[in-house]
Chains A and B, each alone.
Chain A
Amino acid sequence: MRFYALSVYLFLYTPIAIIALFSFNAGRHASQFQGFSTQWYGRALKNPFVMDALETSLLVALVSATLASVLGTLAAVGLQGIRGPARAVFDGIIYVAVMIPGIVIGIATLIALVTVFDVLNPWLATLWPAAGQPPSLSMGIGSLIAAHTMFTMALVIIIVRARLGSLEQALTEASADLYATPFGTFRQVTLPLIAPAILAGFLLSFTFSFDDFIIAFFVAGSETTLPIYVFSSIRRGVTPEINAIGTMVMVASLLLLIVAQLVLRRGQRR
Chain B
Amino acid sequence: MSKTFGDVEAARDLDLRISPGEFLSFLGPSGCGKTTALRMLAGFEAPTRGDVLIDGQVVNQLEPHRRPVNMVFQSYALFPHLSVADNIGYGLRQRRPRLARSVIADKVERALETVRLSGFGKRRVWEMSGGQQQRVALARAIVNEPKLLLLDEPLAALDRKLRKEMQIELQDLQRQLGITFVLVTHDQEEALSLSDRICVMRAGRIVQVGSPQELYDCPASRYVADFVGNSNFFEGRIEEVDGALARLVTGGGQTLAGRASPGLAAGRDGCLSIRPEQIRIGSEPGPGCIEVTVQNRIFLGEHTEYLVRHGGLGNIIVLAPRQAEIGARGFEAGARAFLNWSDEAALILNPD
Q: Which residues of A contact B (CB under 8 A)?
A: 168, 170-171, 173-182, 184, 188-189, 192-193, 270
Contacts and interface: CB of A to CB of B under 8 A. Distances in A.
Contacts of B70: 177-178
B69 A177 contact: yes
The 6 closest A-B pairs by CB, nearest first: A178-B91, A170-B77, A174-B77, A179-B94, A176-B64, A192-B81
10 contacts: A168-B75, A171-B79, A173-B73, A174-B73, A174-B78, A175-B79, A176-B65, A181-B65, A181-B94, A182-B65
B94 A184 contact: yes
A177 B91 CA distance: 8
A270 B80 CA distance: 7
Nearest to B79: A189
B42 A177 contact: yes
Contacts of A178: 65, 70, 90-91, 94, 140, 144
B77 A179 contact: no
A188 B79 CA distance: 10
Nearest to B80: A270
Choose among B42, B71, B94 the residue with the greatest number of A CB atoms under 10 Å from its CB. Answer: B94
Interface of B: 42-44, 63-66, 69-71, 73-75, 77-81, 90-91, 94-95, 126, 140, 144
Contact of A168 (B43, B77, B126): B77
Contacts of B43: 176
A194 to B, nearest CB: 10
Contacts, number: 61
Contacts of B79: 171, 174-175, 189
Interface SS, A side: helix
A170 B73 contact: yes
A77 B289 CA distance: 71
B98 to A, nearest CB: 12
A152 to B, nearest CB: 26
Contacts of B144: 178-179
A192 B144 CA distance: 23
Contacts of A181: 65, 94
A114 B70 CA distance: 57
Nearest to B90: A178
Given A168-B75, A270-B126, A180 B81 contact: no
Nearest to B95: A179
Nearest to A191: B81
Choose among A173, A174, A182, A193 the residue with the greatest number of B CB atoms under 10 Å from its CB. Answer: A174
A179 B81 contact: no
Contacts of B71: 173-174, 177
A164 to B, nearest CB: 15
B351 to A, nearest CB: 40
B81 A193 contact: yes
A175 B63 CA distance: 12
Nearest to B75: A170
A189 B71 CA distance: 17
Contacts of B94: 178-181, 184
Contact of B81 (A168, A174, A270): A270
A6 B95 CA distance: 63
A173 B44 contact: yes
Contacts of A179: 65-66, 91, 94-95, 144
